[in-house]
Chains A and B, each alone.
Chain A
């Protein structure tokens, strides 16, 4: 989506850390999300962060939010081949029922 931007591709070696970046434009974003999509599969909610937080950690996943720069990142520690997928950043900008606006997705390729 044009309001949420991501780099298209990232390649890392197994065991390394991966960092996927996202920028968004709407300062009224209240929640920011990371979804994972494997080939031919649905969207799996990985984690989300409320806009008044700077960081959220969940096992191997660390989300960092720089609200001033409107920058969101997802760090995957000890990346495994099973982490190979497309990762979508998304924002929720509307009050009420919170439709999501997605970025274009980053394809993560993990080399053994």
Chain B
């Protein structure tokens, strides 16, 4: 079965640079969620989109923005990167009618040096 795809899988950036993470949800899933997992920590919800509109917002810094496109893929844009942004970024997707079933991608590991 098709899963959530994230790219790139690994990314190394320097402080103050920008990064763009991409997420391709499971086919027919219309809702995308972004989570951030710091080293040794639990995943923290950042933001979610349903039908290309932002539906919920968590602890996403103002330096980050995200959007969902007409093909339902989503991008997380991160600017003015800080060392503390180094983390595993997960995307999850669900289908509106079964929003309780969120399926996670493999994550993008971002390292800021």
Contacts and interface: CB of A to CB of B under 8 A. Distances in A.
Contact of A99 (B33, B90, B101, B104): B33
A34 interface: no
Contact of B43 (A44, A88, A92, A97): A88
The contact size tier of chain A is 20 to 34
A35 B101 CA distance: 11
Interface in B28-55: 31, 33, 35, 41-45, 48, 50, 55
Given A42-B90, A43-B90, A48 B42 contact: no
Residue in B56, B100, B101 with the greatest tally of chain A CB atoms within 10 Å = B100
Nearest to A50: B100
Given A42-B105, A43-B104, A45-B102, A99 B42 contact: no
Contacts of B105: 42
B106 interface: yes
The contact size tier of chain B is 20 to 34
Contact of A48 (B44, B58, B101, B104): B101
Contact of B104 (A44, A50, A103): A44
A102 interface: yes
A97 B50 contact: yes
B86 to A, nearest CB: 15
Contacts of A1: 42, 44
Interface of A: 1, 30-31, 35, 41-45, 48, 50, 88, 92, 94, 96-105
The 8 A-B residue pairs with the shortest CB-CB distance in the complex, in nearest-first order: A102-B42, A43-B104, A97-B55, A99-B45, A42-B106, A31-B100, A98-B99, A97-B56
Interface of B: 31, 33, 35, 41-45, 48, 50, 55-56, 58, 90, 92, 94, 99-107
